[in-house]
Amino acid sequence: MPDLSRTGPASTVTSGTRSTPLVPTGGWTPLPAVLNGHAARLRDRPALSFVSYGHDEGGLWQNLTFGQVDLRARALAAALEAGFPRGSRVAVLCPQGNEYSLGLLACLYAGMTAVPLFPPEDPRRQNQLAAVLADADPVCLLTVGPAAAACQELTDGRAPVWLVEETDPGWAAGWSRYRAGPEEPAYLQYTSGSTGRPAGAVITHANLVASTRQVIDGCGLGAETPIASWLPLFHDMGLSIGVLAPMLAGAHLALMSPLAFIQRPVRWLRLLDAHRAHFSGGPNFAYDLCVRKVPDPAGLDLDLSCVRVLTNGAEPVRVGTLRRFSEAFAACGLAGDAVKPSYGLAEATVLVACNRPGQRWTELALDSEALSAGLVRVVNDRVEEQPPKRVTTVVGCGRPVAQEVRVADPETGVEREPGQVGELWLRGPNIAAGYWRQPARSAELFDRTLKTTDGSRPGWLRTGDLGFLHGGEVFVLGRLKDVIILHGANHAPSDIEDTVRRAIGEAVPGGVAAFAVPGTDAEGDRLIVVVELAAGADTAEDVGLRRRVQTAVAEGHGVRPHNVVAVRRGTLPRTTSGKLRRGDCRRHYLATVSTTDTPPRGTEIGNEVT
C-alpha cells in the first residue's frame, strides 16, 4: 500500500490507533458504520449512479452498489490511514461524479477531516480555491487523473495528490475499522465566496448525522425513495442531497453535473422521470431556467408524478418562480405541492426548515410600510378601512426540523415579540462547532446567549439572516449584511469593488459600491455598480465606463452587472470612519433610478447629483 505522505517505496499500514468496533454506542452511530451495515444487507443494490452526457444525449450511467461503495471507501481509507495522522485535513477536489463521493466517504471512514472543494477548472476561481487550501492546510489532495497536474500546482507540491480511481480495492482489508466519536470533525464546509480569509464551518460527526436525519425526516426519505441531484457536491445542499442523505437512508442516488443541467435543464427533468425520483432540489434560479428553456412541457414524454419533494433553497425563494414552475409542469404530472421552499445555512450543517411532503408553500401578503419598520402586518382579503399603499408578498420556508428557531434583536440578543422582524437565531444538534482556526469570528456567531422573558439561554447561533415566524413557519427576508446572491452564488461586494477599481483607473480611490436590487421574478436579483469618477460623471461615456466595468466583473466573477452608474466624487454614502454604507447606496438607487434602470440626468444617488 502506498505511503501518500511522501514519495518512495510503498509502505504498509502501521496505524497506532486502537480499532473501535462498529457497534452503536448510546444510540448514536456514525455514517460509515451505517453505510457498512447497508453494505452487509443491501450489498448488490444500486447506491450511487453518475449520469454523464458527453457521448450520449440520453445519458450514460456509471453505477456502484452499496457493497462496491463500502469496499472502495474502505480501501482508500486504509491508504489515508497509512500515510497520515488521524484527524488530518484531506481536500477533495474531484469533478462531479462517483469518485467525489468515494473520496469524501473514505475520509469519514479513516477519521480524517474532509475538505469538500471543487477542481481547479475555472481560472476565475483559482484565487478563491488557493485561499481555502491555504486556510485548511490539507495533508493530501484527492482528485482524478485529468485534474492531477492542476491540483499539484495549487499547493506548489507541498501536499501529495492521490488519484481516487487508482485505489486498489484489495487494500480494504487493511482498514482499521475506526469509529469516529460524535465530537470529532467530519468535514470543513467553507462558506465564503470572498478571496479574503475564508470561513470553514467545522461539521462534527454528530452534526453530520443529526442534520442528515433532519433532511431524511423532513423530506420523507427512506431506502425506497430514489434521489436525484445536479447540485455541486462541494456546496452544503449539494453535499447533503448528493452524498450524505442517500448513504444514511440507504437510498439510490442518480447524480449529474451542474454543467449538464445548465446546458440543457430538461436533462434534470428527464432524470427525475427515468430514476422515478422522490426527492431533488436546487436554488430558485434553476426552476426559472427550466421554465425558460423548456417552453412546451406538455409536448414532452415526461412523467413527474413520482416527485414528492423538490426543495427550493440556497438563495432567496420567489413566489412567482414557485407558481410558474408548478403550473408549467403540472402538465407532466407534477403535484402542485411538490416544490418546497426551504431554509438552511452551512453553519447549521444545511437544513433549518422546510415544507413537508404533501404540504403546499404558504404565501403572506404584508403591509410594505409596516414591514420596513420591522413589523409583520398581514393584509386581509376583505376591504380594509385604510388599505396599505404597497403590499409585499413573502413565501414561507416551512417549519423548523428538529431544532429551535427564534427571532432576536441583532444588537441586544433579546428575543422579539411575535409579529416582529429580527435576526433568526438557531439552536440544535446540527449547529456546527465553529469556524476552523477562527476563535474570534466563531465567538461572534456561535454559542450566543438569547435573552428571553424566562431568563437567559446559551447555545444559540446567530445566522445573520433577517426574518420572522408566523404560524410556526420561518419567513426569511434577506441578509443583515451585504452579501450579493446572484444565480445561486455568493459574491462579496468588496471583491467586485476591488475588481472595478483595478479596471477603472479613472475611479476615485475607494469610490466604488456594489450591491443587488430586485429584478423580475424570472431573472432574480440584479447587480448594480456605482463608480465615483474623479473627473465627474459626465466623463463616463468618454472613458467607456459601462463596457469596461461589465467586462471586468464578468471576467473576474462570472456575473455581469445589470447597470453601471457614474457619480461625482463624494457622492457615495459613508460612515464617519469612511466605510461605505452599501445599504444606503441601495436605497438611494431604488428611490431615484427609473424602472428602466437608466439613471436620468440630475438623479441623486447619495449626497451629490449625477
How confident is the model over 295-336, as pLDDT tens digits? Answer: 899 889 999 999 999 999 877 788 888 999 999 999 999 999
pLDDT attached to residue 206? 97
What's the confidence (pLDDT) of residue 556? 80
Output the CA angle 140-145-151, nearest 5 degrees.
45
What pLDDT sits at residue 383?
A: 53
The mean pLDDT of 552-557, rounded to a whole number, is 87
Q: Indicate the range of 6-15, 290-299, 365-374 predicted with least confidence.
A: 6-15
Q: pLDDT digit string (tens) for 121-143?
A: 888 788 889 999 999 999 999 99
Give the number of other Cβ atoms within 10 Å of residue 168's Cβ. 13
- Give the Cα separation of 309 and 210 in Å (integer): 20
Interaxial angle between packed helices 31-41 and 98-110, expressed in degrees from 0 to 180 and rounded to the nearest 10: 120
**The predicted structure's pLDDT at residue 575:** 53
Give, in degrees to the nearest 5, the angle at Cα 245 between 327 and 69. Answer: 125
Provide the 8-state DSSP code for 224: T
CA distances to 207, 433, 441 from 185, rounded to whole Å, are: 9, 9, 18
In this prediction, residue 518 carries a pLDDT of 87
Predicted confidence at residue 544, as pLDDT, reads 93
Query: Which pLDDT band, with edges at 50, 70 and 90, does 287 fall under?
Result: very high
Q: What is the pLDDT confidence band of residue 607, given thresholds at 50, 70 and 90?
A: very low
Grid cell 441586544 is found at 412
DSSP letters spanning 507-557: EEEEEEEEEEE---TTT--EEEEEEEETT-GGGTTTTTHHHHHHHHHHHHH
Q: In the prediction, which pLDDT does 27 show?
A: 63
Range with the largest mean pLDDT of 246-250, 483-487, 518-522, 591-595: 246-250
- What ranges do the domains of the chain cover? 31-354, 363-479, 487-592
- Give which of 136, 166, 188, 598 is closest to 433, Cα–Cα: 188
The reported pLDDT for the residue numbered 316 is 73
d(CA 186, CA 197): 21
- Among 539, 543, 507, which Cα is nearest to 529's? 507
What span, in angstroms and rounded, lies between the C-alpha atoms of 599 and 596?
8
**381-427 per-position pLDDT tens digit:** 555 567 777 788 899 999 999 999 999 999 999 999 999 999 999 99
**Residue 215, pLDDT above cutoff 80:** yes
At position 306, the amino acid (one-letter code) is C
Contacts of 210 by beta carbon, 8 Å cutoff, 6+ apart = 349, 402, 428, 429, 430
Judge residue 264's burial from the number of C-beta atoms within 10 Å of its C-beta, 0-12 exposed, 13-18 middle, 19 or more buried: middle
Burial 411-439 (b: 16+ CB within 10 A, else e): eebebbeeebbbbbbbbbbbbbbbbbebe
What's residue 593's pLDDT? 65
Does the domain made of 31-354 have the CATH classification 3.40.50.12780? yes
pLDDT score recorded for residue 327: 96
Kindly provide the b/e burial profile for residues 303-338, where b requires at least 16 CB atoms within 10 angstroms of the residue's own CB: ebebbbbbbbbbbbbbeebbebbbebbeebebbebb
The domain defined by 487-592 carries CATH number 3.30.930.10: no
By percentage, how much of the chain surpasses pLDDT 90?
Answer: 68
> How many residues are given for the chain?
610
Q: Which percentage of the chain shows pLDDT scores above 70?
A: 89
What is the biggest distance separating any 2 CA atoms in the chain, rounded to whole angstroms?
Answer: 85
Torsion of CA 4, 8, 10, 13, to 10 degrees: -50
Distance of alpha carbon 31 from alpha carbon 184, whole angstroms: 13
pLDDT tier, 191 (very low <50, low <70, confident <90, very high otherwise) = confident
Decide if pLDDT at 144 tops 90.
yes
Helix axes 319-329, 284-293, angle to 10 degrees: 40
Rounded Cα distance, 177 and 32, in Å: 9
Q: Please name the fold of domain 363-479.
A: Luciferase; domain 3 (2.30.38)
Q: Which residue has the higher pLDDT, 211 or 298?
A: 211
DSSP codes, 412-464:
T-BBPPTTB-EEEEEESTTS---BTT-HHHHHHHSSEEEEETTEEEEEEEEEE
Calculate the average pLDDT of the chain: 87
Q: What average pLDDT does the segment 285-302 reach?
A: 91
Are 287 and 321 contacting, i.e. CB atoms less than 8 angstroms apart?
yes
State residue 598's pLDDT score: 46
Q: Are 265 and 282 in contact (CB under 8 A)?
A: no
3-class DSSP state for residue 392?
A: strand
Rounded CA-CA distance 66/76 in Å is 16
Higher pLDDT, 443 or 386: 443
For 133, residues 6+ apart whose C-beta sits below 8 A from its C-beta are: 91, 117, 154, 155, 159
Predicted confidence at residue 4, as pLDDT, reads 63
Q: Quickly state the pLDDT bin for 7 (edges 50, 70, 90).
A: very low
pTM over 0.85: no
Confidence of residue 23 (pLDDT cuts 50, 70, 90): very low
